[in-house]
A = this chain, B = another copy of it.
Amino acid sequence: MSIIQIIGVEGLPIIKAGDNLAEFICKAAEKQGTPIQDGDVIVVTHVVVSRAEGRIVNLDEVTPSQFAKTVAELYDKDPAMVEVVLREAKSIRRMAEGKIITETKHGFVCANSGVDKSNVPGERIVALLPENPDVSAEKIRLEIKRLTGCDVAVIISDTHGRPLREGEINVAVGVSGIKPIRDRRGEKDLFGYVLRVKQTAVADELSSAAELVIGQADEGVPAAIIRGYKFIKSDEARATELVRPREKDLFL
């Protein structure tokens, strides 16, 4: 019988720029009686990673461009926030109903270039996505290895809206130590039929599973340990493997 556990890591302090996030997670996991083990998948929400890396912006210190001001006026938004969103974007996909859908510098298509207002201290402070979330994930993974001796996978997650379906889910924006897609083509099903199309986005599924503990707590739960999931290790994996180029997209 296979049982997977999703364990919320609680009791972390408010993360500040320069903090050793990996150490905080290891200590908090230990303190609550669920120390990190070999084979765990550690899912961390991007906002705490961004805070630890100093990737936060005070909107009062941002001078919006004329374009940002125009967009802000058209869509009833904060000009400084629009300016930050545009700076983080490679392209604008759509603007409507007060929402700006962009392609981020990393290649993710999401609302507001992933710039996040919630769970950041201060009314006018926003968190950007990490500069390179895969590198951020790798740093955390190596630091956990150094501190605990454990080989784990690390996923950095963000909350994304989706085309065609209502509601947001958590997906992976950074990975380290795990193949984000499990290629099952060639495997046989229950009746010996060879699967021809199955490629499972396990890093996204793990991120969504983690959100079940991260999202339901009253107090802040910035990370989750997923225990008992046999993932496929990888040293070169990148979260952008999960991004489908527009020209290859059959849905759009």
Q: Given A163-B252, A164-B109: A119 and B189 within 8 A (CB)?
A: yes
A93, A163, A195 interface centre (most CB from chain B within 10 Å): A163
Interface size range of chain A in the complex: 35 or more
Interface flag for A212 (CB, 8 Å): yes
A-B pairs with beta carbons under 8 Å apart, 9 shown? A94-B251, A118-B195, A119-B189, A119-B193, A165-B242, A167-B181, A167-B202, A184-B215, A206-B212
Given A164-B252, A166-B244, A168-B200, 13 additional A-B pairs, CB 8 A: A1-B8, A2-B7, A4-B213, A111-B197, A121-B191, A122-B191, A159-B200, A163-B163, A163-B249, A163-B251, A163-B252, A164-B251, A169-B204
- Measured CB to CB, the residues of A under 8 A from B are 1-8, 10, 14, 32-34, 93-94, 96-97, 99, 101, 109, 111, 117-123, 159, 161-171, 180-182, 184, 189-191, 193, 195, 197-202, 204-206, 208-209, 211-213, 215-217, 219-221, 226, 229-230, 241-244, 246, 249-252
